[in-house]
Protein backbone atom coordinates (compact mmCIF):
# COMPACT_ATOMS: atom_id res chain seq x y z
CA UNK A 1 0.00 0.00 0.00
CA UNK A 2 1.51 3.30 -1.08
CA UNK A 3 1.22 6.14 1.42
CA UNK A 4 -0.89 8.19 -0.99
CA UNK A 5 -3.38 5.34 -1.25
CA UNK A 6 -3.80 4.55 2.46
CA UNK A 7 -7.20 6.22 2.72
CA UNK A 8 -8.50 4.40 -0.34
CA UNK A 9 -7.11 1.11 0.93
CA UNK A 10 -8.80 1.71 4.30
CA UNK A 11 -12.16 2.31 2.60
CA UNK A 12 -12.05 -0.97 0.68
CA UNK A 13 -10.60 -2.95 3.60
CA UNK A 14 -13.44 -1.78 5.82
CA UNK A 15 -16.05 -2.87 3.24
CA UNK A 16 -14.28 -6.21 2.76
CA UNK A 17 -14.31 -6.98 6.49
CA UNK A 18 -18.00 -6.12 6.63
CA UNK A 19 -18.68 -8.71 3.94
CA UNK A 20 -16.29 -11.52 4.92
CA UNK A 21 -15.15 -11.00 8.51
CA UNK A 22 -12.16 -13.22 7.68
CA UNK A 23 -9.10 -12.85 9.96
CA UNK A 24 -6.79 -12.11 7.03
CA UNK A 25 -9.09 -9.28 5.94
CA UNK A 26 -9.24 -7.91 9.49
CA UNK A 27 -5.44 -7.96 9.46
CA UNK A 28 -5.43 -5.75 6.34
CA UNK A 29 -8.00 -3.41 7.90
CA UNK A 30 -5.97 -3.11 11.12
CA UNK A 31 -2.84 -2.39 9.10
CA UNK A 32 -4.66 0.33 7.15
CA UNK A 33 -5.91 1.87 10.39
CA UNK A 34 -2.38 1.82 11.81
CA UNK A 35 -0.95 3.49 8.72
CA UNK A 36 -3.59 6.21 8.92
CA UNK A 37 -2.77 6.68 12.64
CA UNK A 38 -6.15 5.46 13.86
CA UNK A 39 -4.59 3.37 16.61
CA UNK A 40 -7.58 2.94 18.96
CA UNK A 41 -9.78 1.80 16.06
CA UNK A 42 -7.19 -0.76 14.98
CA UNK A 43 -7.00 -2.13 18.53
CA UNK A 44 -10.80 -2.20 18.77
CA UNK A 45 -11.18 -4.37 15.66
CA UNK A 46 -8.48 -6.79 16.77
CA UNK A 47 -9.92 -7.14 20.26
CA UNK A 48 -13.54 -7.31 19.12
CA UNK A 49 -12.79 -10.29 16.88
CA UNK A 50 -10.60 -11.97 19.52
CA UNK A 51 -7.53 -11.98 17.30
CA UNK A 52 -4.98 -11.23 20.02
CA UNK A 53 -4.62 -14.72 21.40
CA UNK A 54 -1.26 -16.21 22.32
CA UNK A 55 1.08 -16.61 19.33
CA UNK A 56 -1.24 -14.68 16.98
CA UNK A 57 1.91 -13.06 15.66
CA UNK A 58 0.65 -10.87 12.76
CA UNK A 59 -2.22 -9.40 14.77
CA UNK A 60 -0.20 -8.88 17.93
CA UNK A 61 2.51 -7.11 15.94
CA UNK A 62 0.01 -4.49 14.73
CA UNK A 63 -1.48 -4.20 18.22
CA UNK A 64 1.97 -3.69 19.75
CA UNK A 65 2.81 -1.01 17.18
CA UNK A 66 -0.44 0.80 17.95
CA UNK A 67 0.22 0.70 21.69
CA UNK A 68 3.77 1.96 21.17
CA UNK A 69 2.46 4.81 19.03
CA UNK A 70 0.16 5.71 21.93
CA UNK A 71 3.16 5.54 24.35
CA UNK A 72 1.39 2.79 26.28
CA UNK A 73 4.66 1.05 27.09
CA UNK A 74 3.50 -1.48 29.70
CA UNK A 75 0.63 -2.83 27.60
CA UNK A 76 2.88 -2.89 24.55
CA UNK A 77 5.44 -5.04 26.37
CA UNK A 78 2.67 -7.34 27.58
CA UNK A 79 1.46 -7.89 24.01
CA UNK A 80 5.00 -8.57 22.80
CA UNK A 81 5.75 -11.00 25.62
CA UNK A 82 2.54 -12.86 24.81
CA UNK A 83 3.85 -13.26 21.27
CA UNK A 84 7.53 -14.14 21.62
CA UNK A 85 8.05 -14.77 25.33
CA UNK A 86 10.23 -12.98 27.82
CA UNK A 87 13.69 -14.08 26.69
CA UNK A 88 15.77 -13.94 23.53
CA UNK A 89 15.98 -17.75 23.42
CA UNK A 90 12.18 -17.97 23.43
CA UNK A 91 12.01 -15.43 20.63
CA UNK A 92 14.45 -17.50 18.56
CA UNK A 93 12.29 -20.59 19.08
CA UNK A 94 9.10 -18.79 18.07
CA UNK A 95 10.85 -17.36 15.00
CA UNK A 96 11.95 -20.85 13.98
CA UNK A 97 8.43 -22.24 14.50
CA UNK A 98 6.92 -19.44 12.42
CA UNK A 99 9.47 -19.78 9.64
CA UNK A 100 8.87 -23.52 9.31
CA UNK A 101 5.09 -23.32 9.55
CA UNK A 102 4.74 -24.87 12.98
CA UNK A 103 2.48 -22.00 14.02
CA UNK A 104 0.38 -22.23 10.86
CA UNK A 105 -2.85 -23.09 12.70
CA UNK A 106 -2.75 -19.82 14.63
CA UNK A 107 -2.02 -17.59 11.63
CA UNK A 108 -4.13 -16.47 8.67
CA UNK A 109 -2.88 -18.40 5.65
CA UNK A 110 -2.49 -15.38 3.41
CA UNK A 111 -0.48 -13.40 5.95
CA UNK A 112 2.16 -15.88 7.06
CA UNK A 113 5.69 -14.60 6.81
CA UNK A 114 7.39 -15.74 3.60
CA UNK A 115 11.17 -15.74 3.41
CA UNK A 116 12.47 -12.82 1.38
CA UNK A 117 9.13 -11.00 1.06
CA UNK A 118 9.33 -8.84 4.18
CA UNK A 119 10.98 -8.44 7.54
CA UNK A 120 10.37 -11.48 9.71
CA UNK A 121 7.52 -10.62 12.06
CA UNK A 122 9.37 -11.93 15.12
CA UNK A 123 12.35 -9.74 14.21
CA UNK A 124 9.99 -6.77 14.00
CA UNK A 125 8.63 -7.61 17.45
CA UNK A 126 12.15 -7.86 18.87
CA UNK A 127 13.05 -4.48 17.38
CA UNK A 128 9.85 -2.92 18.71
CA UNK A 129 10.56 -4.36 22.15
CA UNK A 130 13.98 -2.72 22.07
CA UNK A 131 12.39 0.61 21.08
CA UNK A 132 10.07 0.39 24.08
CA UNK A 133 12.97 -0.45 26.41
CA UNK A 134 14.89 2.58 25.14
CA UNK A 135 11.81 4.73 25.82
CA UNK A 136 11.73 3.26 29.34
CA UNK A 137 15.44 4.13 29.84
CA UNK A 138 16.61 0.51 29.81
CA UNK A 139 19.21 0.73 27.06
CA UNK A 140 21.23 -2.28 28.24
CA UNK A 141 18.31 -4.67 27.69
CA UNK A 142 17.38 -2.87 24.48
CA UNK A 143 20.75 -3.82 22.98
CA UNK A 144 19.96 -7.53 23.47
CA UNK A 145 16.69 -7.22 21.59
CA UNK A 146 18.07 -5.12 18.72
CA UNK A 147 20.77 -7.76 18.27
CA UNK A 148 18.16 -10.53 18.43
CA UNK A 149 16.14 -8.80 15.70
CA UNK A 150 19.17 -8.77 13.42
CA UNK A 151 20.09 -12.35 14.23
CA UNK A 152 16.58 -13.48 13.31
CA UNK A 153 16.50 -11.39 10.15
CA UNK A 154 19.56 -9.53 8.91
CA UNK A 155 17.25 -7.35 6.79
CA UNK A 156 15.95 -5.59 9.92
CA UNK A 157 17.81 -2.39 9.04
CA UNK A 158 15.88 -0.42 11.65
CA UNK A 159 17.54 -2.41 14.44
CA UNK A 160 20.99 -1.98 12.88
CA UNK A 161 20.53 1.78 12.45
CA UNK A 162 19.48 2.25 16.06
CA UNK A 163 22.40 0.23 17.42
CA UNK A 164 24.82 2.37 15.42
CA UNK A 165 23.14 5.78 15.51
CA UNK A 166 22.41 5.64 19.24
CA UNK A 167 25.97 4.41 19.99
CA UNK A 168 24.68 1.34 21.84
CA UNK A 169 27.68 -0.82 20.88
CA UNK A 170 31.42 -0.27 20.98
CA UNK A 171 33.31 -0.58 17.71
CA UNK A 172 34.55 -4.14 18.47
CA UNK A 173 31.01 -5.15 19.48
CA UNK A 174 29.66 -3.79 16.21
CA UNK A 175 32.20 -5.82 14.22
CA UNK A 176 31.43 -8.95 16.26
CA UNK A 177 27.70 -8.55 15.61
CA UNK A 178 28.28 -8.15 11.88
CA UNK A 179 30.39 -11.32 11.82
CA UNK A 180 27.63 -13.17 13.69
CA UNK A 181 24.82 -12.29 11.26
CA UNK A 182 23.71 -14.77 8.63
CA UNK A 183 23.57 -13.35 5.12
CA UNK A 184 22.30 -15.34 2.16
CA UNK A 185 24.05 -15.13 -1.19
CA UNK A 186 21.38 -12.63 -2.25
CA UNK A 187 22.09 -10.46 0.78
CA UNK A 188 25.82 -9.92 0.34
CA UNK A 189 25.09 -6.36 -0.75
CA UNK A 190 23.47 -5.74 2.65
CA UNK A 191 26.54 -7.06 4.48
CA UNK A 192 28.68 -4.67 2.46
CA UNK A 193 26.32 -1.80 3.30
CA UNK A 194 26.47 -2.59 7.03
CA UNK A 195 30.24 -2.94 6.92
CA UNK A 196 30.61 0.40 5.14
CA UNK A 197 28.48 2.13 7.76
CA UNK A 198 30.55 0.65 10.58
CA UNK A 199 33.79 1.60 8.83
CA UNK A 200 32.66 5.20 8.41
CA UNK A 201 31.60 5.41 12.05
CA UNK A 202 34.87 3.98 13.35
CA UNK A 203 36.93 6.25 11.09
CA UNK A 204 35.00 9.31 12.25
CA UNK A 205 35.59 8.44 15.90
CA UNK A 206 39.30 7.94 15.35
CA UNK A 207 39.61 11.34 13.68
CA UNK A 208 37.76 13.03 16.52
CA UNK A 209 40.95 13.67 18.52
CA UNK A 210 39.78 16.82 20.23
CA UNK A 211 36.25 15.69 21.09
CA UNK A 212 35.62 15.51 24.84
CA UNK A 213 32.26 13.69 24.76
CA UNK A 214 32.08 10.47 26.77
CA UNK A 215 31.23 8.37 23.71
CA UNK A 216 34.34 9.37 21.79
CA UNK A 217 36.60 9.08 24.85
CA UNK A 218 35.47 5.49 25.39
CA UNK A 219 35.74 4.46 21.76
CA UNK A 220 39.21 5.97 21.27
CA UNK A 221 40.52 3.72 24.03
CA UNK A 222 39.43 0.60 22.16
CA UNK A 223 41.55 -1.41 19.79
CA UNK A 224 40.18 -1.01 16.29
CA UNK A 225 40.99 -2.50 12.89
CA UNK A 226 41.27 1.10 11.70
CA UNK A 227 43.83 2.20 14.27
CA UNK A 228 46.61 2.07 11.68
CA UNK A 229 44.95 4.59 9.40
CA UNK A 230 47.09 7.75 9.23
CA UNK A 231 45.07 10.68 10.63
Instruction: Please tell me the total count of domains within the chain.
Output: 3
Query: What confidence tier does 156 reach under pLDDT thresholds 50, 70, 90?
Result: very high
Comparing CA positions, the residue from 108, 117, 144 lying closest to residue 129 is 144
Query: What confidence tier does 112 reach under pLDDT thresholds 50, 70, 90?
Result: very low
Residues 147 and 231 in one domain: no
End residue of a domain, out of 118, 133, 167:
167
User: What percent of the chain is predicted at pLDDT more than 90?
Assistant: 56
- Count of Cβ atoms closer than 10 Å to residue 68 Cβ: 21
Supply the CATH number for residue 149's domain.
1.25.40
Residues 90 and 155 in one domain: yes
Query: What confidence tier does 141 reach under pLDDT thresholds 50, 70, 90?
Result: very high
Element (H, E) at 61: helix 57-69
End residue of a domain, out of 115, 149, 167:
167
User: What digits encode the pLDDT tens for the residues 17-46?
Assistant: 989 888 889 999 999 999 999 999 999 999
| Structural domain span for residue 229 | 169-231
- pTM, full prediction: 0.80
End residue of a domain, out of 167, 197, 213:
167
Distances (CA, A) of 73 to 99, 137, 159, 166, 189: 28, 12, 18, 20, 35
Residues 163 and 184 in one domain: no
Amino acid sequence: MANSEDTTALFFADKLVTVTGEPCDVHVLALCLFRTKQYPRALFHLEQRELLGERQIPFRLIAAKCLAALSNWDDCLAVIEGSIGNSVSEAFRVADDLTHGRLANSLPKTKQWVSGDSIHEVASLCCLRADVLVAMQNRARAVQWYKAALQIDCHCVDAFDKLVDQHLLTVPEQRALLDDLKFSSDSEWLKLFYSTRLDKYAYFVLRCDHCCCACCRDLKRLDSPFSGIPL
